[in-house]
């Protein structure tokens, strides 16, 4: 803790982003590919600040009001033509990675405009996709770092806290999944999930030099039944307790969510228990 406070006090003009990078470098908090765990570090720093252990500089990503900047909606994300044909009558589904600033802004704008959770930066290692069929945008997907701890998933895997800490990077969270509101195609969502599960390991390997073993997703129970996950052969392993990830004192209730998982290899438990 003293080392982190010293890093914060060394330079009063450092941003939170810069502080997290330096903390990762000095404390050896690195991902399997050697890069800094800066997003996880920032979450930890916010928890320490909430507990009164340190004081971070104010966030810089805000407007004159001090509130986070809003994403401006543009004509690029206006509703497109309605699609009602079933997925087997569509052309081949194409998943294209978000790999440029322009695509990133467009993905963020769609998510902010049409996803019930809106846009927020995805934590840790991540890959985002657009889904098209014959140049028609259909859906968006986002995969990112797994939840640090959730009892139903951890019980399902059967790992110890030490094994979880060692192997959590092998679990990836399907943190955003949006089928655009004007798309009403039977079986499309489950088809997209199956296609993404086949595509993701190779893309993750190319980007981070390792392949994930398990995908997880959290489905809000008062809004969705998780039907598409079930149809794509995901397994429901439990329900969250209804607490936020930074709420360790049962002060803030959040909606409960079903926890779904999808193994990416047959011996996933054996590999996660190493």
Three-state secondary structure along 72-90?
Answer: CCCHHHCCCCCECCCHHHC
Provide the pLDDT for residue 66: 42
Q: Is residue 34 domain-shared with residue 120, that is, in the same domain? A: no
Residue-wise pLDDT tens digits, 103-127 = 999 999 999 999 999 999 998 899 9
**Residue finishing a domain among 15, 32, 50:** 50
Provide the pLDDT for residue 243: 61
Q: What angle, 0 to 180 degrees and rounded to 10, lies between the N-to-C axes of helices 2-10 and 16-27?
A: 140
Number of domains in the chain: 2
Quick check: 127 and 207 in contact, CB under 8 A? yes
Cβ neighbors of 74 (< 8 A, separation 6 or more) are: 109
Residue-wise pLDDT tens digits, 66-76 = 445 579 999 99
Q: Is residue 20 domain-shared with residue 104, that is, in the same domain? A: no
| 96 beta partners | 130
Six-digit token string for 59: 């966030």
pTM (2 d.p.) = 0.79
Q: Write out the H or E segment, with its range, that includes residue 145.
A: strand 136-145
Of 45, 176, 56, 189, nearest to 116 by C-alpha is 176
Q: Is residue 129 part of a domain?
A: yes
Q: Which domain, by its residues, includes 6?
A: 2-50
CATH of the domain at 172: 3.40.630.30
Q: Pick the residue with more confidence: 250 or 57?
A: 57
Provide the pLDDT for residue 65: 37
Q: Is residue 113 domain-shared with residue 237, that is, in the same domain? A: yes
Q: What is the DSSP letter of 249?
A: S
d(CA 264, CA 213) in angstroms, rounded, equals 5
Q: Is residue 267 part of a domain?
A: yes
Q: Is residue 82 part of a domain?
A: no
d(CA 63, CA 105) in angstroms, rounded, equals 18
Q: How far apart are the first and last CA of the chain?
A: 30
Q: Is residue 41 domain-shared with residue 99, that is, in the same domain? A: no
Q: Is residue 220 domain-shared with residue 125, that is, in the same domain? A: yes
Percent of the chain past pLDDT 90, that is, above it, reads 72
Residue 238 φ/ψ, nearest 5 degrees:
155, -170
Provide the pLDDT for residue 274: 93
**Strand pairing report for 235-239 and 257-263:** antiparallel
The region of weakest confidence among 133-137, 226-230, 249-253 is: 249-253
Alpha helices of the chain — where are they, by DSSP H? 2-10, 16-27, 38-50, 101-114, 151-157, 161-167, 188-208, 227-231, 268-272
Q: Is residue 125 domain-shared with residue 181, that is, in the same domain? A: yes
SS (H, E, C) 218-243: EEECCCCCCHHHHHCCCEEEEECCCE
Cβ neighbors of 198 (< 8 A, separation 6 or more) are: none
Q: Is residue 98 domain-shared with residue 46, that is, in the same domain? A: no
* pLDDT tops 90 at residue 201: yes
């Amino acid at each position: 803790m003293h080392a982190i406070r010293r890093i914060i006090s060394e330079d009063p003009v450092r941003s939170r982003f810069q502080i997290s990078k330096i903390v990762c470098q000095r404390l050896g908090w690195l991902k399997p590919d050697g890069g800094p765990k800066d997003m996880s570090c920032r979450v930890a720093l916010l928890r320490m600040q909430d507990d009164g252990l340190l004081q971070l500089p104010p966030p810089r990503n805000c407007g004159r009001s001090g509130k986070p900047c809003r994403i401006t909606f543009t004509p690029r994300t206006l509703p497109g033509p309605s699609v009602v044909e079933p997925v087997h009558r569509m052309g081949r589904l194409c998943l294209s990675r978000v790999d440029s600033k322009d695509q990133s802004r467009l993905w963020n704008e769609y998510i902010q405009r049409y996803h019930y959770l809106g846009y927020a930066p995805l934590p840790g290692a991540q890959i985002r996709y657009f889904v098209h069929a014959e140049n028609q945008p259909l859906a968006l997907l986002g995969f990112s770092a797994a939840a640090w701890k959730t009892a139903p998933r951890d019980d399902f895997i059967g790992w110890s806290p030490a094994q979880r800490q060692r192997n959590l990077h092998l679990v990836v969270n399907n943190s955003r999944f949006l089928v655009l509101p004007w798309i009403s195609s039977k079986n499309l969502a489950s088809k997209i999930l199956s296609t993404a599960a086949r595509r993701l390991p190779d893309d993750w390997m190319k980007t981070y030099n390792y392949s994930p073993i398990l995908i997880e997703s959290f489905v809000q129970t008062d809004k969705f039944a998780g039907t598409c996950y079930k149809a794509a052969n995901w397994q429901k392993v439990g329900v969250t307790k209804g607490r936020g990830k930074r709420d360790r004192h049962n002060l803030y209730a959040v909606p409960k969510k079903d926890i779904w998982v999808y193994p990416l290899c047959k011996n996933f438990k054996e590999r996660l228990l190493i």
